[in-house]
Amino acid sequence: MTDMSEFPSGGPLLALDPGEKTIGVAVCNADRTVVTPVETIRRTKFTADADRVFALFDEFACVGLVIGLPLNMDNSVGPRAQSARALGSNLKHLRKLHLHFQDERLSTDKAEDRLRTAGKTRDEIKRIIDAHAAVVILEDAIETMSA
């Protein structure tokens, strides 16, 4: 993925789970012990999407951005992963920031399992799954950093 050695050792991180129609968003606290779902952005135009991402980045005083990279199960890069990389590249063109792509295979499945275990209905899960998948992505990235 991306070398995380350049990331600051502390401070909140924002995570994105980019999809075709939505972007799930999660954030962690400054000491990176608690990850919280924030919202699901309905994708419109890149400029509007980027404005919302940066508004959240600034609101939570984030020091880095983690984007889920949906690699294929055979580790190859398909259209969804190319789209995620393009999103990151385009965001980085707008603002200098620390950026990491985190392998997000099965993050949605893991988030869905957690939500079902918590007793959420199918409709509730559908509304909040993207932000909760971003939680899984950020937790995995934090674990990668501390390894």
Residues 64-88 pLDDT 10s: 999 999 998 888 898 999 999 999 9
- What pLDDT is stored for residue 3 in this prediction? 57
Q: Give how many domains the chain has, as a whole number.
A: 1
Q: Does 50 reside within a domain?
A: yes
Q: Does 51 reside within a domain?
A: yes
Q: Does 3 reside within a domain?
A: no
Mean of the per-residue pLDDT values for the chain?
A: 93
Q: How many CB atoms lie under 10 A from the CB of residue 29?
A: 14
| Alpha carbon separation from 62 to 12, 16, 27, 28 (Å, rounded) | 5, 13, 8, 9
Q: How far is 117 from 101, CA to CA, in rounded Å?
A: 28
Range of the domain at 25: 9-146
Please compute the mean of the pLDDT values over residues 16-30 and round it to a whole number.
96
Q: What is the pTM of this model?
A: 0.92
| Alpha carbon separation from 7 to 58, 64, 77, 117, 123 (Å, rounded) | 17, 7, 24, 34, 37
Helix ranges, the chain (H): 46-59, 79-94, 107-117, 122-146
Q: How far is 76 from 89, CA to CA, in rounded Å?
A: 19
Whether the Cβ atoms of residue 130 and residue 39 lie closer than 8 Å to each other: no
Q: Does 26 reside within a domain?
A: yes
Q: Does 1 reside within a domain?
A: no
**Which has more confidence, 146 or 65?**
65
- What pLDDT is stored for residue 1 in this prediction? 46
Model confidence pLDDT, tens digit, residues 114-143: 999 999 999 999 999 999 999 999 999 999
Q: Does 102 reside within a domain?
A: yes
Q: Does 4 reside within a domain?
A: no
Q: How far is 114 from 124, CA to CA, in rounded Å?
A: 13
- Give me the CATH number covering residue 50: 3.30.420.140
Q: How far is 125 from 7, CA to CA, in rounded Å?
A: 32
Q: Does 2 reside within a domain?
A: no
